[in-house]
Amino acid sequence: MRLPTVDLDQVVSFHQRQTVSGTNYGEPVPDHDLQVLIEEQHNTGFSASNAYWRLCILSDSENEREFTAVYVYHHALGDGGSGKAFHQGFLRALNTAEERETKRLIESPKIPLLPNIEALHPMPLSFLFLAKKIIHEKIYSRRDPALWTAGRIQEPTKTCVRLLPFSSSVVGSLRDRCRQERTTITAVLQTVIARSLFAHIPPTYSSLSCTGAISCRRWLPDIITDDVIGVYVQDFEETYSRSSATSDTFPWEEARRSRQTIEATLNRKGKDAGPNLLRYVNDYQQELCLSKLGQDRDKTFEVSNIGVVRSESGPEKPAIKGMVFSQCASVIGNALGFSVITGGDGCCVISVTWQEGVVEESLAEAVIVSVRDELRLLVDCGKQQGP
């Protein structure tokens, strides 16, 4: 449903940068002001009768021609691709903007809302997939004692955020290396994160569970383009063992296996996906959330890579440069979240989030350093080997 009107004074805020972003030996350093703002926004909820989105403008007094637009929205309104859609639409609006008096109250349009995914896709379930889920949930749900998933599901929720940026040269070199090894950046990221976690958790844990997100827009009707805002996404799962992931040299075979899992999910075109099971949930809050408090979680980390934001603009027109994509901590899901996007400047940022009290800050920081170092090492080794 739509609100009758939106009060821009309630949803748009302006913030001033306090520090200057820069580089360290040619590599970008985390944008501290943006990191603080994102963390603050993740920990600011939405309330009924108000819009479930906000726009924060972070400006720089030293450069009046540049600003950072932070679009904050509830997952009920959109998936990761919806964030890209907003920024692309915002860019188009800036390119056609005229100097005129603005309105504070904006009336909602009368055009129909776009259909949800259930109205566009059959979301089929095979008998085997459904049977496995029923057995796991209702009959036999033994937990692997060697699986590490950090602290138990708990409240209250406070999201911690760290930004990990990479230059366009590192991103380009990593992409070339992945092609040489017949895998993808997403699959490599999953493997690198698993290796980094194994290096910092007790050796008694020998298994990690990873989930990923895949956009369903590629097989939905043409009405659902990359420019629309909505929830058109599904999940997939992958597991990593300490014995397979922690070899002395990077295990490219694990990255190739991870790529095959992603491709197999894509080939199913929405069949046997987690969201397809929601039709059997009677009470979302009780069955999916409250009933799980105090229990062990069953997933370790998520990698959600929403790709590249293209910016096609003339020399005197507004353009998108760097981008960040971040998600709040998953209370009932993964212990750690890794959200990935590449901006119009070719730089990639990994946003790492976790819930305070579930993952120790020192562990999260150590994993982030290991991920950064291993990705840079892969690039350096690729340069030494040559084409």
Q: What is the pLDDT of residue 31?
A: 94
Q: What is the pLDDT of residue 65?
A: 87
Would you place residue 383 in the very low, low, confident or very high pLDDT band (cuts 50, 70, 90)?
low
Would you place residue 122 in the very low, low, confident or very high pLDDT band (cuts 50, 70, 90)?
very high
Q: What is the pLDDT of residue 137?
A: 76
Instruction: For residue 18, report the phi and psi dihedrals to the nearest 5 degrees.
Output: -110, -20
In a domain, 105, yes or no: no
Q: What is the pLDDT of residue 384?
A: 65
pLDDT at residue 386 greater than cutoff 70 = no
What's the rounded mean pLDDT across residues 273-283?
92
In a domain, 59, yes or no: no
What's the rounded mean pLDDT across residues 140-150?
89
Six token digits for residue 245: 């992931």
15-19, 135-139, 169-173, 256-260: least confidently modelled range: 135-139
Residue that wins the pLDDT comparison between 122 and 21: 122
Would you place residue 27 in the very low, low, confident or very high pLDDT band (cuts 50, 70, 90)?
confident
Q: Tell me which residue range forms the domain holding 261.
A: 115-385
Give tens-digit pLDDT for 207-264: 999 999 999 999 999 999 999 999 999 999 999 999 999 999 999 999 999 999 999 9
What's the rounded mean pLDDT across residues 302-323?
87
Q: What is the CATH number of the domain that holds 204?
A: 3.30.559.30
Q: What is the pLDDT of residue 236?
A: 95
Q: What is the pLDDT of residue 310?
A: 82
Instruction: Give 337's contacts (C-beta < 8 A, 6+ positions apart).
Output: 301, 302, 304, 327, 329, 330, 351, 352, 353, 354
CA dihedral 106→111→114→115, nearest 10 degrees, is 130
3-state secondary structure the chain: CCCCEEEHHHHEEEEECCCCCCEECCEECCCHHHHHHHHHHHCCCCCCCCCCEEEEEEEECCEEEEEEEEEEECCCCCCHHHHHHHHHHHHHHHHCCCCCCCCCEEECCCCCCCCCHHHHCCCCCCHHHHHHHHHHHHHCCCCCCCECCCCCCCCCCCEEEEEEEECHHHHHHHHHHHHHCCCCHHHHHHHHHHHHHHCCCCCCCCEEEEEEEEECHHHCCCCCCCCCCCCCEEEEEEEEEHHHHCCCCCCHHHHHHHHHHHHHHHHHCCCCCHHHHHHHCCCHHHHHHHHHCCCCCCCCEEEEEEEECCCCCCCCCCCCCCCCCCCCCCCCCCCEEEEEEECCCCCEEEEEEEEECCECHHHHHHHHHHHHHHHHHHHHHHHHHCC
Question: Total domain count for the chain?
Answer: 1
Instruction: For residue 160, report the phi and psi dihedrals to the nearest 5 degrees.
Output: -105, 140
Give tens-digit pLDDT for 64-87: 889 999 999 999 999 999 999 999
pLDDT at residue 22 greater than cutoff 90 = no
209-213, 298-302, 368-372, 382-386: least confidently modelled range: 382-386
Would you place residue 25 in the very low, low, confident or very high pLDDT band (cuts 50, 70, 90)?
low
Give tens-digit pLDDT for 34-68: 999 999 999 999 988 889 999 999 998 888 889 99
In a domain, 169, yes or no: yes
Give tens-digit pLDDT for 86-116: 999 999 999 888 888 888 999 999 999 999 9
Distance (Å, rounded) from C-alpha 205 to C-alpha 149?
A: 10
In a domain, 337, yes or no: yes
Q: What is the pLDDT of residue 228?
A: 95
Would you place residue 6 in the very low, low, confident or very high pLDDT band (cuts 50, 70, 90)?
very high
In a domain, 74, yes or no: no
- By the 8 A CB rule, do 174 and 318 touch? no
pLDDT at residue 387 greater than cutoff 70 = no
Q: What is the pLDDT of residue 382?
A: 65
In a domain, 18, yes or no: no
In a domain, 264, yes or no: yes
- By the 8 A CB rule, do 302 and 212 touch? yes
What's the rounded mean pLDDT across residues 281-309?
93
| Average predicted confidence (pLDDT) for the chain | 93
In a domain, 32, yes or no: no
Distance (Å, rounded) from C-alpha 130 to C-alpha 264?
A: 18
Q: What is the pLDDT of residue 219?
A: 95
Give tens-digit pLDDT for 149-199: 999 999 999 999 999 999 999 999 999 999 999 999 999 999 999 999 999
pLDDT at residue 323 greater than cutoff 80 = yes
Q: What is the pLDDT of residue 315?
A: 75
